[in-house]
Structure 1
Amino acid sequence: MATVEITREHSLGKDAAKERAQLMADKLAAKLDAKCTWQDDELSFQRSGVDGKIRVGDDNVHVAVKLGMMLTPMAGMVKGEIEKALNKYLV
């Protein structure tokens, strides 16, 4: 099992960053058929072989994704896609 973790700083404020995280989650849900739920400032998402969380802070966003055995070889690609999404949504 592989874990991909990325922390990105932002200057959006927590509420705006949560809105942007929701946009990322909507795209993720559509693309991967993932189930997404919020609890306070943390968005959890799941689908077969993937378990992740997006934690939104006042000045940063932390993404942690655990990949199952079958998806472990794709960890580099997953990390690249997360970084692209963070660059797009946290500008």
Structure 2
Amino acid sequence: MAEISIVQQHTLSPAAARTAAEQVAQRIATEYGLACQWDGDVLRFERSGVEGALTLEDQQAAMRINLGFLMGAFAPAIEAKVAEKMRKTFAA
């Protein structure tokens, strides 16, 4: 099992950070077929072989993704794509 952890600093208001998180979630949900659901300030997502969460805090967004055995082979590519999307979205 591969684990990806990405932390992106931001200066967004809580509402703007939530909107940004939804943009990131929409992108990865579409690309990887994930189901997403808010649990307070934590956006949880999953599908067979993938589960994780995007946690919003005052000045940062933290993404944790656990990949099953088959998806683990794609961990570097997934991490690069998600990190870039988070950087672009939260640093705006």
TM-score range, shorter chain: over 0.9
Instruction: Give yes or no for the alignment of 1:61 onto 2:61.
Output: yes
Question: Are the counterparts in 2 of residues 14 and 59 from structure 1 also a CA contact under 8 Å?
Answer: no
Cα distance, 1:56 vs. partner?
Answer: 0.5
Q: Tell me the matched-pair count.
A: 91
Aligned to 1:15: 15
Deviations 1:45-70 (A, max 9, x none): 01111101000011000000000001
Unpaired segments ≥5 residues, structure 1: none
Aligned to 2:27: 27
Cα distance, 1:25 vs. partner?
Answer: 1.1
Question: Are the counterparts in 1 of residues 28 and 82 from structure 2 also a CA contact under 8 Å?
Answer: no
Question: Are the counterparts in 1 of residues 51 and 65 from structure 2 also a CA contact under 8 Å?
Answer: yes
- TM-score, length-scaled by structure 1: 0.94
Secondary structure of 1:58's partner? coil
- TM-score, length-scaled by structure 2: 0.93
Secondary structure of 1:43's partner? strand
Q: Cα RMSD between the aligned structures?
A: 0.9
What is the distance in 2 between the residues matched to 1:29 and 1:87? Answer: 17
Unpaired segments ≥5 residues, structure 2: none
What is the distance in 2 between the residues matched to 1:80 and 1:31? Answer: 14
